[in-house]
Amino acid sequence: MKHTIITTQRTMTVGLVLALVLSLLLIGSAMAHAKLVSSEPQDGAKLDAPPAKITLVFNEELGEQESNFTVTDAAGKQVGDGKLDLNDLDRKTLTGTLDAGAGNGVYSVNWVGYTPDDKETKEGSVSFTVGAAQAQPTAAPAATARPTSAAAPTTQPTVAPTAAPAAGGSPSTLPHTGAADLSLVGMLVLAALIVLAGGLVLRSSKRRG
């Protein structure tokens, strides 16, 4: 009977260790996707002139053939692109430029990041504005009417000012990039804790028996 209890306890211990190791591996895999760490220009930046270079830095090594970005203007036309920067020995950087002649406007940098470690592809975007997105309308000076005795003064119609469109959108409206799957991680950790607790309870019951 005692030998059976010892064997059962050893089996439970091995099972718990394997379950925890598997949970850690799954958590590591879930967190290993490419995430954008920084960009130049920064997301939401407003520039006086087009940038000479666009740089995106990620937290993981990127695949050369699968990772890149394209730049589009407000009309959706592609006006630039970028690829893996081979000068970065860590292979975590994408660089590129706008096409010659790019002027004022809102630009979106749409990136694709492929991580060879877990063979996963992530996508996201950042945006920036060059110059003013749209010039504010200038109100014409009101003409001074000469008073006359025959005609009554004419009331000028009041035109409500038109709100200028926001340049690039606020950070809350910009797409989220490279977000970790926290729900999956939480479920894995919870499952590991439940297995561990169940094993301890069963082990205590066996000792009492």
> What's the maximum distance between 2 C-alpha atoms anywhere in the chain?
121
| pLDDT (average), residues 74-94 | 96
**Predicted confidence band of residue 165 (pLDDT cuts 50, 70, 90):** very low
Domains within the chain, CATH numbers bracketed? 33-134 (2.60.40.1220)
How crowded is the C-beta side of 175, counted as CA atoms within 13 Å?
Answer: 13
Q: What is the pLDDT of residue 156?
A: 53
Residue 173: its pLDDT value, please? 36
**Integer Cα distance of 88 and 17 in angstroms:** 39
Among 1-5, 109-113, 146-150, the minimum mean pLDDT is found in: 146-150
Which residues fall within 8 angstroms of residue 145, CB to CB, at 6 or more apart?
153, 154
Whether 139 and 158 have beta carbons less than 8 Å apart is answered as: no
14-69 per-position pLDDT tens digit: 555 555 545 544 444 445 688 999 999 999 999 999 999 999 999 999 999 999 99
End-to-end Cα separation, the chain, in angstroms: 10
pLDDT for 135 equals 45
Neighbouring-strand partners of residue 125: 110
- pTM over 0.75? The answer is no
Lookup: tokens for 65? 């053939």
Mean pLDDT of 142-160: 49
